[in-house]
Amino acid sequence: MPLPKNIVILISGSGSNMAAIVQTAQQQGWQEQFGATVAAVISNRPDAAGLQLAQSLGVAAQALDHRAFESREAFDAALMQLIDGHQPALVVLAGFMRILTPGFVGHYAGRLINIHPSLLPAFPGLNTHQRAIDAGCAQAGCTVHQVTAELDHGPILAQAVVPVLPGDTADTLAARVLIEEHRLYPLAVRRWLQDEP
Protein backbone atom coordinates (compact mmCIF):
# COMPACT_ATOMS: atom_id res chain seq x y z
CA MET A 1 0.00 0.00 0.00
CA PRO A 2 1.51 3.38 -0.93
CA LEU A 3 2.09 5.96 1.76
CA PRO A 4 -0.94 8.21 2.28
CA LYS A 5 -0.85 11.30 0.10
CA ASN A 6 -3.05 13.92 1.68
CA ILE A 7 -4.19 16.80 -0.49
CA VAL A 8 -5.18 20.14 1.05
CA ILE A 9 -7.09 22.56 -1.20
CA LEU A 10 -7.16 26.31 -0.53
CA ILE A 11 -10.11 28.37 -1.81
CA SER A 12 -11.54 31.88 -1.47
CA GLY A 13 -14.85 31.60 -3.32
CA SER A 14 -17.28 29.16 -4.92
CA GLY A 15 -14.84 26.27 -5.01
CA SER A 16 -15.76 24.98 -8.47
CA ASN A 17 -12.20 23.82 -9.24
CA MET A 18 -11.97 22.25 -5.78
CA ALA A 19 -15.21 20.34 -6.45
CA ALA A 20 -13.88 19.14 -9.82
CA ILE A 21 -10.80 17.70 -8.10
CA VAL A 22 -12.73 16.11 -5.21
CA GLN A 23 -15.31 14.53 -7.51
CA THR A 24 -12.64 13.22 -9.90
CA ALA A 25 -10.69 11.76 -6.96
CA GLN A 26 -13.82 9.97 -5.73
CA GLN A 27 -14.91 8.75 -9.18
CA GLN A 28 -11.47 7.52 -10.23
CA GLY A 29 -10.59 5.95 -6.88
CA TRP A 30 -7.42 7.95 -6.14
CA GLN A 31 -7.44 6.53 -2.60
CA GLU A 32 -7.08 2.99 -3.95
CA GLN A 33 -4.72 3.88 -6.80
CA PHE A 34 -2.39 6.38 -5.16
CA GLY A 35 -3.29 6.41 -1.47
CA ALA A 36 -4.46 9.99 -2.14
CA THR A 37 -7.29 11.74 -0.33
CA VAL A 38 -8.48 15.33 -0.26
CA ALA A 39 -7.99 15.70 3.49
CA ALA A 40 -9.26 19.26 3.90
CA VAL A 41 -10.50 22.39 2.18
CA ILE A 42 -9.45 25.67 3.79
CA SER A 43 -10.67 29.17 2.94
CA ASN A 44 -9.45 32.60 4.00
CA ARG A 45 -13.09 33.76 3.76
CA PRO A 46 -15.50 32.26 6.32
CA ASP A 47 -18.43 33.06 3.99
CA ALA A 48 -16.94 31.25 0.95
CA ALA A 49 -19.62 29.11 -0.70
CA GLY A 50 -17.00 26.47 -1.42
CA LEU A 51 -16.81 25.53 2.28
CA GLN A 52 -20.39 24.21 2.27
CA LEU A 53 -19.77 22.58 -1.10
CA ALA A 54 -16.74 20.75 0.34
CA GLN A 55 -18.79 19.51 3.28
CA SER A 56 -21.53 18.29 0.92
CA LEU A 57 -18.82 16.25 -0.86
CA GLY A 58 -17.71 14.70 2.43
CA VAL A 59 -14.53 16.76 2.88
CA ALA A 60 -13.52 18.55 6.09
CA ALA A 61 -13.86 22.32 5.59
CA GLN A 62 -12.15 25.00 7.68
CA ALA A 63 -12.00 28.79 7.57
CA LEU A 64 -9.13 31.02 8.65
CA ASP A 65 -10.13 34.66 8.26
CA HIS A 66 -7.13 36.67 7.01
CA ARG A 67 -8.74 39.86 8.38
CA ALA A 68 -8.09 38.64 11.91
CA PHE A 69 -4.32 38.92 11.43
CA GLU A 70 -2.14 42.02 11.62
CA SER A 71 0.14 41.06 8.75
CA ARG A 72 0.40 38.79 5.73
CA GLU A 73 3.24 36.94 7.47
CA ALA A 74 1.14 36.29 10.59
CA PHE A 75 -1.74 34.94 8.51
CA ASP A 76 0.55 32.72 6.42
CA ALA A 77 2.18 31.32 9.58
CA ALA A 78 -1.22 30.40 11.02
CA LEU A 79 -2.32 28.97 7.67
CA MET A 80 0.82 26.80 7.48
CA GLN A 81 0.08 25.44 10.95
CA LEU A 82 -3.48 24.59 9.92
CA ILE A 83 -2.38 22.95 6.66
CA ASP A 84 0.47 21.00 8.29
CA GLY A 85 -2.03 19.48 10.73
CA HIS A 86 -3.23 17.45 7.73
CA GLN A 87 0.31 16.29 6.76
CA PRO A 88 -0.11 17.28 3.11
CA ALA A 89 1.76 15.68 0.25
CA LEU A 90 0.28 18.36 -2.00
CA VAL A 91 -1.25 21.81 -1.44
CA VAL A 92 -3.58 22.93 -4.22
CA LEU A 93 -4.56 26.57 -4.76
CA ALA A 94 -8.02 26.63 -6.32
CA GLY A 95 -9.16 30.22 -6.58
CA PHE A 96 -7.24 31.21 -3.45
CA MET A 97 -7.07 34.98 -3.84
CA ARG A 98 -4.09 35.76 -1.65
CA ILE A 99 -0.53 36.62 -2.60
CA LEU A 100 1.57 34.24 -0.52
CA THR A 101 4.72 35.18 1.36
CA PRO A 102 8.09 33.74 0.28
CA GLY A 103 8.24 31.85 3.58
CA PHE A 104 4.96 30.08 2.85
CA VAL A 105 5.97 29.26 -0.73
CA GLY A 106 9.36 27.99 0.41
CA HIS A 107 7.79 25.77 3.08
CA TYR A 108 5.78 23.90 0.42
CA ALA A 109 8.34 24.05 -2.38
CA GLY A 110 7.72 21.31 -4.94
CA ARG A 111 4.30 20.45 -3.50
CA LEU A 112 2.34 23.67 -4.05
CA ILE A 113 0.40 24.11 -7.30
CA ASN A 114 -1.99 26.69 -8.74
CA ILE A 115 -4.26 27.13 -11.74
CA HIS A 116 -4.17 30.43 -13.60
CA PRO A 117 -6.72 31.52 -16.24
CA SER A 118 -4.28 32.34 -19.02
CA LEU A 119 -1.65 30.63 -21.13
CA LEU A 120 1.33 31.54 -19.00
CA PRO A 121 3.77 33.20 -19.35
CA ALA A 122 1.17 35.49 -21.01
CA PHE A 123 -1.00 37.60 -18.71
CA PRO A 124 0.09 36.83 -15.16
CA GLY A 125 -1.97 38.55 -12.47
CA LEU A 126 -5.59 39.70 -12.76
CA ASN A 127 -8.08 40.54 -15.55
CA THR A 128 -6.56 37.89 -17.80
CA HIS A 129 -9.54 37.41 -20.11
CA GLN A 130 -10.01 41.09 -20.91
CA ARG A 131 -6.28 41.49 -21.45
CA ALA A 132 -6.25 38.56 -23.91
CA ILE A 133 -9.15 40.11 -25.84
CA ASP A 134 -7.57 43.59 -25.81
CA ALA A 135 -4.29 42.14 -27.12
CA GLY A 136 -6.10 40.54 -30.07
CA CYS A 137 -5.15 36.98 -29.06
CA ALA A 138 -6.60 34.18 -31.17
CA GLN A 139 -6.31 31.79 -28.23
CA ALA A 140 -6.67 31.91 -24.47
CA GLY A 141 -6.73 29.16 -21.89
CA CYS A 142 -5.49 28.07 -18.49
CA THR A 143 -2.25 26.85 -16.92
CA VAL A 144 -1.49 24.60 -13.97
CA HIS A 145 1.91 25.48 -12.53
CA GLN A 146 4.11 24.99 -9.54
CA VAL A 147 4.06 27.99 -7.23
CA THR A 148 7.28 29.92 -6.72
CA ALA A 149 7.98 33.22 -4.98
CA GLU A 150 7.42 35.10 -8.26
CA LEU A 151 3.67 35.46 -8.96
CA ASP A 152 2.39 33.14 -11.74
CA HIS A 153 5.91 32.22 -12.89
CA GLY A 154 6.53 28.67 -11.61
CA PRO A 155 7.27 25.64 -13.82
CA ILE A 156 4.29 24.78 -16.04
CA LEU A 157 2.69 21.38 -15.43
CA ALA A 158 -0.23 21.46 -17.89
CA GLN A 159 -2.12 23.83 -20.20
CA ALA A 160 -5.42 23.85 -22.06
CA VAL A 161 -6.27 26.13 -24.98
CA VAL A 162 -9.61 27.68 -25.97
CA PRO A 163 -10.23 29.91 -29.01
CA VAL A 164 -11.05 33.58 -28.55
CA LEU A 165 -14.23 34.01 -30.61
CA PRO A 166 -15.43 37.13 -32.42
CA GLY A 167 -17.64 39.14 -30.06
CA ASP A 168 -16.23 37.49 -26.94
CA THR A 169 -16.47 39.44 -23.70
CA ALA A 170 -14.32 38.77 -20.66
CA ASP A 171 -17.30 36.90 -19.16
CA THR A 172 -18.01 34.64 -22.17
CA LEU A 173 -14.33 33.82 -22.53
CA ALA A 174 -14.00 33.18 -18.79
CA ALA A 175 -16.92 30.73 -18.91
CA ARG A 176 -15.28 28.69 -21.69
CA VAL A 177 -11.90 28.74 -19.96
CA LEU A 178 -13.53 27.59 -16.68
CA ILE A 179 -14.87 24.46 -18.39
CA GLU A 180 -11.28 23.62 -19.37
CA GLU A 181 -10.02 24.43 -15.85
CA HIS A 182 -12.43 21.85 -14.41
CA ARG A 183 -11.03 19.24 -16.83
CA LEU A 184 -7.36 20.20 -16.63
CA TYR A 185 -6.83 20.69 -12.90
CA PRO A 186 -7.88 17.17 -11.80
CA LEU A 187 -5.79 15.77 -14.66
CA ALA A 188 -2.70 17.69 -13.52
CA VAL A 189 -3.18 16.63 -9.88
CA ARG A 190 -3.57 13.00 -10.95
CA ARG A 191 -0.38 13.26 -13.03
CA TRP A 192 1.46 14.75 -10.05
CA LEU A 193 0.30 11.83 -7.86
CA GLN A 194 1.40 9.29 -10.47
CA ASP A 195 4.84 10.84 -10.76
CA GLU A 196 5.46 11.04 -7.02
CA PRO A 197 7.28 8.03 -5.51
Q: What residues are labeled active site? A: 116
How deeply is 20 buried, as exposed, middle or buried, from its count of CB atoms within 10 A (0-12, 13-18, 19+)?
buried
Closest to 189 measured CA to CA, from 84, 106, 113: 113
DSSP assignments along the chain, one per residue: -PPPEEEEEEESS--HHHHHHHHHHHHHTHHHHHSEEEEEEEES-TT-HHHHHHHHTT--EEE--GGGSSSHHHHHHHHHHHHHTT-EEEEEESS---PPPHHHHHHTTTSEEEEESS-TTSS-SS-HHHHHHHTT-SEEEEEEEE--SSTT-SPEEEEEEEEPPTT--HHHHHHHHHHHHHHHHHHHHHHHHHH--
